[in-house]
Structure 1
């Protein structure tokens, strides 16, 4: 039985591959990559490569086998037709009759206006008739910490999330959950939907205070309106579509759509999820004077 990971050289996919290699022989791990050059480092370690592109359905036709367990990592280009990209993978997996299809979805996939692509993709997964697992990943804490250089430069955290809270976890936590599903008891995970969240929800004011405490100076949180945040993002050079996605996510936070906590992630990990302060400390390492 092979474990097949699409988007294998992305931030999440790389961590999933690493987790699989800790548990399995390299020849049982298949990385779906857009080119052999992108997957060269994995191939050097003995990982099998399948060269395919979400945008070229025919390239996926020979990727999967009937006994494969597949993790479809959702496409992340907001300007692309992500549902069509996902459909190409799902159709190829269905034609092959894979043993399990897991998909990295989003919180509120059935209700949030920002989760339309995930909602439609979940529908395709269910319609495929394959054994499935839906992994509705809440926000990665790294979505926030990756912006720390700018926050430290400006000395303020300006967002449109109001007083909303985020039940985030680290990217490594979500990767480990994917590994647990792929390598675990198929009967336990088949036809299941997991709402994956951190154990504790936090506000952006609390996040800013944590950053400030570790940086040794005050980092206030400034609550912006949606329009104000959009203007700042576009003014910084972000394309309007990408800016709308980020600002819209903050509106979801303000509405409480990302605040719910569940035990699903910590149960899959068999440990607590990674606290926000831990991820902040790791991200600040190297950004602050020794």
Structure 2
């Protein structure tokens, strides 16, 4: 049986949908905080059990019968995520899982200034010491592009701190590839990096955006502290702004620069590019044709 955590979230839920297209529903289970939110999976024959990383005993029950467990990483900056991930790994081991898969991050290596990297590095170390076969899916940046580009559609400018090349990746592609791995079509031991095929800078994206809009989208490089001050003025908590700043710092230092071939291999096609995503975002604003 394949058990997926976080199945009511974006990545976990999409992964389950792709699994349902590949394996019988009775081979799939989900461990979720609120079972009512997973009723749509139960209606299709998926086993739904309550479990959260805070409750080790519930997790052991939720993981019962698991051959593989997918641990979708948590992202609460106020929580002890390493400790919570340890709970999940230990529960999967106690349940007898043969392999644990974990949604890690591209560039999860020592020295990366992006603070969540430390969580992924520590969790991968826990997996390595677990005594169970494990896979760390080091996913490329797959959040909404406007999180890192800012409101370029409204302002006509990408006014952000200095950046570097990043293979911006589509979450839907990551979910599909994760399902492919879980379904057993390909096995990886240890870390594997899943990214779009090309790393782009904000200069590159500004040129793409200019082509979409028919007018020049400028790239304006902001001083780090000025950017943080602007974010605070806009209502973003300073702690969150400084956390996001470390992402730009990591990008400019090259920690996300390397694109990998594995996502395309798993999908059997070219992954969706940042250009495709920008075009979709542009059409969505104002329902453009």
Taking structure 1 as the reference length, the TM-score comes to: 0.91
Aligned to 2:166: 166
CA drift at 1:120: 0.3
CA contact (8 A) 1:100 1:131 kept: yes
CA contact (8 A) 1:54 1:88 kept: yes
Stretch moving more, 87-96 or 39-48:
39-48
Stretch moving more, 62-71 or 247-256:
62-71
CA drift at 1:66: 4.6
Q: How does 1:99-110 map onto structure 2 within 5 Å? A: 99-110=98-109
CA contact (8 A) 1:70 1:102 kept: yes
Rounded Cα–Cα distance in structure 2 between residues aligned with 1:137 and 1:147:
16
Select 2:209's aligned residue among 204, 211, 216. 211
> Residue 109 of structure 2 aligns to a residue in which SS?
coil
CA contact (8 A) 1:167 1:200 kept: yes
CA contact (8 A) 1:78 1:241 kept: no
Aligned to 1:80: 79
Aligned to 2:190: 192
Deviations 1:184-207 (A, max 9, x none): 15xx52523212222111111211
Stretch moving more, 254-263 or 142-151:
142-151
**After the TM superposition, which parts of structure 1 deviate over 6 Å for at least 4 consecutive aligned residues?**
none
CA drift at 1:67: 4.3
Rounded Cα–Cα distance in structure 1 between residues aligned with 2:232 and 2:218:
22
Stretch moving more, 280-289 or 16-25:
280-289
CA contact (8 A) 1:148 1:284 kept: no
CA contact (8 A) 1:226 1:251 kept: no
Structure 2, gaps ≥5 residues long:
none
Select 2:140's aligned residue among 138, 159, 184. 138
Aligned to 1:60: 59
RMSD of aligned C-alpha atoms? 2.0
Aligned to 1:235: 233
Rounded Cα–Cα distance in structure 1 between residues aligned with 2:285 and 2:81:
34
> Residue 236 of structure 2 aligns to a residue in which SS?
coil
CA contact (8 A) 1:169 1:276 kept: yes
CA drift at 1:27: 2.1
> Residue 103 of structure 2 aligns to a residue in which SS?
strand
Rounded Cα–Cα distance in structure 2 between residues aligned with 1:57 and 1:83:
14
Select 1:283's aligned residue among 267, 272, 281. 281
1:176–1:9 Cα change, 3 Å: same
Structure 1, gaps ≥5 residues long:
none
Aligned to 1:183: 183
1:249–1:120 Cα change, 3 Å: same
Aligned to 1:272: 270
> Residue 61 of structure 2 aligns to a residue in which SS?
coil
CA contact (8 A) 1:33 1:49 kept: yes
CA contact (8 A) 1:133 1:192 kept: yes
> Residue 61 of structure 1 aligns to a residue in which SS?
helix
Equivalenced residue count is 285
Rounded Cα–Cα distance in structure 1 between residues aligned with 2:151 and 2:107:
29
> Residue 49 of structure 1 aligns to a residue in which SS?
strand
> Residue 199 of structure 1 aligns to a residue in which SS?
coil
Taking structure 2 as the reference length, the TM-score comes to: 0.91
Select 1:126's aligned residue among 122, 125, 128. 128
Aligned to 1:246: 244
CA contact (8 A) 2:31 2:63 kept: no
CA contact (8 A) 1:145 1:279 kept: no
Rounded Cα–Cα distance in structure 2 between residues aligned with 1:14 and 1:249:
26
